[in-house]
Structure 1
Amino acid sequence: MAIFQGTLLLIVLLLAPMAAAATVGGLGGAEEQLDECITPTICCQQDGPDVRFPFWLKGHHHQNCGYPGFDLSCTPESKYPVLQLPFSVNVFVKHIDYKSQTINISDPDPHGCFARQLQHLNLSASPFQFQTNGDFSFINCSQRQDSNFFDWFRIACLSKQSHQVYATRYDGLDISCTKMYTMSLPYEILDYSYGTITFDDLQLNWSKPECGKCEARGKNCRFKNNNNCSSSESQLSTECFGGKPKQGALPKLKIAGEVLGPTLLLVVVIAIYHVYRSNKMKKADQVKIDKFLEDYKALKPARYSYADIKKITNQFEDKVGQGGYGIVYKGKLSDDVYVAVKILNNVKGNGDEFINEVQTMGRIHHINVVRLVGYCADGFRRALLYEFLPNNSLEKFISSNQEKHSLGWEKLHDIALGIAKGIEYLHLGCDQRILHFDIKPQNVLLDNKFNPKISDFGLAKLCSKEQSAVSMTAARGTVGYIAPEVFSRNFGNVSYKSDVYSFGMLLLDMVGGKQNTVAQNTSECYFPEWIYKRLDQGENLGIQIEEDGDAKTIRKLTIVGLWCIQWYPVDRPSMKVVVQMLEGNGDTLTVPHSPFASTNPMPTRGTTGGRTFDSELEIISESE
């Protein structure tokens, strides 16, 4: 290391005179071709941008020195030069990058609302455009919307106590919201972590004139043949000039290169070897989680330190749950953003489940899947931060008849449909198929409007959409919800149909509940088998109903649940078909053959009302 530093110092000392000579030569050439329109001008403050062609500054340059639409103004009280965009939208120009042809703009009024001014912006008549943009609808809501809505971004300065304003790329509106107007904005200003839009530092670029090519070659830009600006399109063409070193400097550079070339090559070789050796040692010392987090450091969610976790949870003050995975606390990121902080136990295998959950949740964005806000991997301390859902898990509402009936069967049906859509998204909506392997009431959380959200992806697996089955070294999931093929391959291959089975058991749990009085009074009674016999024989299901239509809803949920828990995967519908069954009126649903009959495995094909399910499933290797 000392040899490397000494050699580098020597080369710097030897290169200094050469660099000075090159600089003098370059400046001399520019001075010989000095153009008053190219002379940089700084106004307003010393750290403001220098203004030169194609920009021109009113009061400092002649208007023919700049390109049309690139005029800036500056007053003694201005912090930065001001650019006027169509229509009458004034912005500060904080930075100009002449090589990439971009400018950074901001609101000139520190106490104003940039979003209100931008609604009048129309860049179609301007030489400047956003680099990447999309159309956003601005929505006025009479009450605050659930901050968990994906792609709803709150505009703080437009919102009042009486109403809230959001920007969204989708037109689906809540009943309490109205559309105000549509505006084109860049995606870079979206803050997914807090559900807001930041207007602090917007970036615009220009395509004409193409002076960036000159800047990249170390030259200046001006109107061709140094003509003055004209309204004629042919006379708006530009050219590069200046920036060449003096003729006398070239021989000096050639001699210096011949003398220092071998030494410079040696320094480069030593530097490459040093970097290679250093990287190799670092990789050998990294633990599995550190390597994973390095690969995924650019992903949302955000990473927090353990000190941040203690601050967010107010020193772990509000405990809201506990299980084999660890303890869950309620936390607060800001005044109106609450999170559930799951502190993971330091147990064997915890690292794999932690990586699995962060990796899986980082690619999921769906209204029926819980959103991972952040994570903590501080030494041996690990935590996961989720959006906070105030109504706890579905188990609370199906394990008690009183709670279940307070929701009503129509709402329970909507919850079942939402869960089905969430699982369908996991199977079909991502680049890779996501198999959850732990669908159960405890892992379905409810928001303040009782919308269901699937959680806990510690046992999830990823596989290609073209390959439908996975091989597994051990059973995973919760007893009572695990598909038969997960225990024994005699029933078929483990696949996405295993999640279908778990969902079917969840549906039957919703119908019967753990405290169903009929099932309790029947000794040695397995509720799914009991209700199948009643349904098959056309008897009353014995489930308490309160409103018209409840019996039809209960029958639909029961039939769909029984289709999903067929012993053999090929007899179960896909989640896409399950969603269609739940969305239908239920009159066309037929009762499946008994899922409890003991038969030999065979490649049968199941049907409901004419629908045909898939047959053979290809086996692929499990991917950790």
Structure 2
Amino acid sequence: MDTNPCAPSSCGNQTISNPFRLNSDPLNCGNPLYTLHCEENTSTVLYLDSRKYYVQAINYNNLTIRVVDAGVKKNDCSSLPDFSLTYARLANSRSAYTWFQYKKRRSKWFPKYKTLPLSQTMIFINCANPVNSPLYLDTGACLNGGKYPNASLSIHSYVNVGGMKASDLMEKCSLERMTLLPVKDYNMSFKEIHSLLEYGFELSWHSSRCGGSIVQGPKFIFGSPFVFAFLIYKWRRRHLSAYDTVEEFIQTHNNLMPVVRYSYSEIKKMTGGFKDKIGEGGFGCVYKGKLRSGNSAAIKILGKSKANGQDFINEVATIGRVHHTNIVQLVGFCAEGSKRSLVYDFMPNGSLNNFIFSQERSVTLSWEKLLEISLGVAHGIEYLHRGCEMQILHFDIKPHNILLDEHFTPKVSDFGLARLCPANESLKSLTAARGTIGYMAPELFYKNIGRVSYKADVYSFGMLLLEMAGRRKNLNALAERSSEIFWPYWVYDQVSNEKSVEIGDGGTEEEKKIVKKMIIVGLWCIQMKPVDRPAMNEVVEMLEGDVESLQLPPNPVLNLDEKNTCGESSSMSDYSTESDHTNARHPKPSQGAQTKRKGGETDVGEKESHGCQGKKGGPQQKSPTVYYCLVSDNLLITIFPQCNEVKIAMK
């Protein structure tokens, strides 16, 4: 926004000049985003999110303003801030101010910038019992004895400076309010800390918000050398923006993330110079390392990303807030320019795919252990869907992302594709289909099947469960019989006709029941329409129950209505995950999954008929437009429900 500089005004001992303005100044003066108020011509007031703060100083050179909460009184250590102010509140209020500032570093060719925090969190805590912890600073006589509203005389009051983990909050303690303090070492008494509370904390404004730009580009360009230099400059700006996206996220959520931030040099030291590589993928490489405590860690070094740091943010934002025995624990992270790393607890037994697909493992998991692992994974996913304020949708459940600790306890890992979603809601849209082919729910490709929701994870879990039950990939182009290429289609036929499923070495009756249970539950989970799949809590109930009580679902690949046809395109680039229909209510598995489509839904796919052979090799008969396509890395499977026929084409 353009601003018109005016003569400076004043309020008390504060000089008010561009970009600031007083509310009494002419409208063409200053920037409305930086409007201040003057009380009785003595006190300058800044309102943040409609909350009152007194301005102590404005530094126009380094673009900072120092303010203090209106409730904090000088020489009165019992006075408290009137309002809670955190990084998240400041960010969510769409304020023109930040709690960090940009610092320019010297560079031969182009300006470089880094962010420096101006403030840190201070937390006021009330406890019913005395607490002995270095994280809790006793307020002494200042606040003990009922200074908080509605507090009893037996309350013990403490403060914490710098933030704390959720697990550090002691029993019978509660957070009363939070505010900001200047960044420094707080090895001092509460009275000394309160004097700094009276001094106030600094916020920064960006010059870009005042009509200028943090990094100024050249005004004129002469000749190709200048064009080349300018292109390099633009490249650096784009990457600086990506780094700032990550840094701003970290600063916003710093007080909410119970994990450690490491420097890149610390990461390098922990891995011994990146010597012991234990895995790699499209995201980068994983190295074994050692924490300062002596415990082993798995350190993921992220490669270059086209997502502007969003994959890194996804991982830290989701897994950083989760604590569950079946979710891998994020210990810390590193974000230093383009270098980004994630530090996890080390899982000595690696990933599940090594045990269900590899024939060369020295350890073979029993069927009882596989059922136990599947139940643990189900509990982990259920927690993601229901255990937090926001649903966490994983979008990449597969054997490779299930890690096993020393006791073979499963841990859901790799949250790079995860999304947060309000409870009991579906995602309005996704910019692209996400996940791994073979485990991705059909609604991620075909929008008329249903909205994208937590049921996409249920589908992926079902495919995982079927692979565990078969100890094989669901799609196997090298199968001896063509009917066995798509495992779920073949195994449904076996179970529905009460044929036994081979499990190797004969197997006991109890083991066969375990396999049958896993197959039936898996088939429920991979029903084509999301509305026909159970929720994860129902999946847990089925896995914990008796196989005799389970009803076989309809064939998932044939359970389509007469007008539900193949998608318009089998090209991955043409797939869309945006859905326009509301979710119907999911019937419990015992009620069956044959839910009729509601009127008004648009047909998916092509409007043409396809022929199929008669049962006894007679002439081809025209079938209605009823078929479905499943695409894997190298297979196109077309299914004609009316003929009960499957055609398989190698791509």
Category of TM-score, reference length = shorter chain: 0.5 to 0.7
What TM-score do the two structures reach when normalised by structure 2?
A: 0.53
**In the alignment, residue 493 of structure 2 is paired with which amino acid?**
K
**In the alignment, residue 609 of structure 1 is paired with which amino acid?**
S
SS of equivalent residue, structure 1 residue 479: coil
Alignment of 1:279-358 (within 5 A): 280=209, 287-298=244-255, 299-349=257-307, 351-358=309-316
Asked if the contact 2:249/2:313 (under 8 Å) is kept, the reply is yes
**In the alignment, residue 559 of structure 1 is paired with which amino acid?**
I
For residue 586 of structure 1, what is the aligned residue in structure 2? 547
For residue 539 of structure 1, what is the aligned residue in structure 2? 499
Give 2:329's match in structure 1, choosing from 352, 371, 374.
371
Give 2:407's match in structure 1, choosing from 445, 449, 452.
449
Instruction: Tell me if 1:429 matches 2:429.
Output: no
Taking a change above 3 Å as real, the CA distance of residues 527 and 611 of structure 1, as seen in their structure-2 partners, is closer
Give 1:566's match in structure 2, choosing from 499, 504, 527.
527
Shift of 1:203: 12
For residue 510 of structure 2, what is the aligned residue in structure 1? 549
Return the alpha-carbon distance in structure 1 between the equivalents of residues 586 and 143 of structure 2.
60
For residue 487 of structure 1, what is the aligned residue in structure 2? 445
SS of equivalent residue, structure 1 residue 540: coil
Taking a change above 3 Å as real, the CA distance of residues 613 and 127 of structure 1, as seen in their structure-2 partners, is farther
- Post-superposition Cα deviations, 1:473-524, rounded to whole Å, max 9, x if no partner, equal 3211000001111111132221111111100000011011237999833236
SS of equivalent residue, structure 2 residue 524: helix
Asked if the contact 2:467/2:473 (under 8 Å) is kept, the reply is no
Which range moved further: 292-301 or 545-554? Answer: 545-554
SS of equivalent residue, structure 1 residue 300: coil
- Post-superposition Cα deviations, 1:263-284, rounded to whole Å, max 9, x if no partner, equal xxxxx9xx99x95466958995
Asked if the contact 1:400/1:514 (under 8 Å) is kept, the reply is no
Asked if the contact 2:333/2:342 (under 8 Å) is kept, the reply is yes
Return the alpha-carbon distance in structure 1 between the equivalents of residues 508 and 158 of structure 2.
56
Shift of 1:613: 10
Greater helix share, structure number: 1
Taking a change above 3 Å as real, the CA distance of residues 94 and 129 of structure 1, as seen in their structure-2 partners, is closer
Return the alpha-carbon distance in structure 1 between the equivalents of residues 187 and 592 of structure 2.
52
**In the alignment, residue 320 of structure 2 is paired with which amino acid?**
G
Higher Cα radius of gyration: 1
Return the alpha-carbon distance in structure 1 between the equivalents of residues 335 and 592 of structure 2.
47
Return the alpha-carbon distance in structure 1 between the equivalents of residues 362 and 513 of structure 2.
17
Question: What is the percent sequence identity of the aligned residues?
Answer: 41
SS of equivalent residue, structure 1 residue 392: coil
- Post-superposition Cα deviations, 1:423-475, rounded to whole Å, max 9, x if no partner, equal 11111111111111111000110111111111111111111113134422321
Return the alpha-carbon distance in structure 2 between the equivalents of residues 352 and 518 of structure 1.
35
Taking a change above 3 Å as real, the CA distance of residues 9 and 608 of structure 1, as seen in their structure-2 partners, is closer
How many residue pairs end up in the alignment?
395
Unaligned runs of 5+ in 1: 12-85, 103-125, 134-149, 154-167, 170-183, 189-200, 206-211, 217-267, 620-624
Return the alpha-carbon distance in structure 2 between the equivalents of residues 365 and 615 of structure 1.
39
Shift of 1:300: 1.5
Give 1:520's match in structure 2, choosing from 457, 471, 479.
479
SS of equivalent residue, structure 1 residue 528: helix
Shift of 1:614: 9.6
Alignment of 1:435-474 (within 5 A): 435-474=393-432
Taking a change above 3 Å as real, the CA distance of residues 279 and 490 of structure 1, as seen in their structure-2 partners, is closer
**In the alignment, residue 355 of structure 2 is paired with which amino acid?**
F
Alignment of 1:134-153 (within 5 A): none
CA RMSD of aligned residues (A): 4.5
For residue 45 of structure 1, what is the aligned residue in structure 2? none
Alignment of 1:174-189 (within 5 A): none
SS of equivalent residue, structure 1 residue 520: coil
Asked if the contact 2:278/2:286 (under 8 Å) is kept, the reply is yes
Taking a change above 3 Å as real, the CA distance of residues 377 and 521 of structure 1, as seen in their structure-2 partners, is same
Return the alpha-carbon distance in structure 2 between the equivalents of residues 579 and 420 of structure 1.
6
Taking a change above 3 Å as real, the CA distance of residues 277 and 572 of structure 1, as seen in their structure-2 partners, is closer
Give 2:560's match in structure 1, choosing from 584, 591, 599.
599
Shift of 1:97: 4.4
Return the alpha-carbon distance in structure 1 between the equivalents of residues 559 and 519 of structure 2.
21
Taking a change above 3 Å as real, the CA distance of residues 477 and 552 of structure 1, as seen in their structure-2 partners, is same
SS of equivalent residue, structure 1 residue 539: coil
Alignment of 1:502-521 (within 5 A): 502-514=460-472, 520-521=479-480
Shift of 1:604: 9.0
Return the alpha-carbon distance in structure 2 between the equivalents of residues 349 and 426 of structure 1.
23
Return the alpha-carbon distance in structure 2 between the equivalents of residues 98 and 614 of structure 1.
67
The structure, 1 or 2, with the larger RCO (C-alpha pairs under 8 Å, 6+ apart) is: 1
Asked if the contact 1:435/1:499 (under 8 Å) is kept, the reply is yes
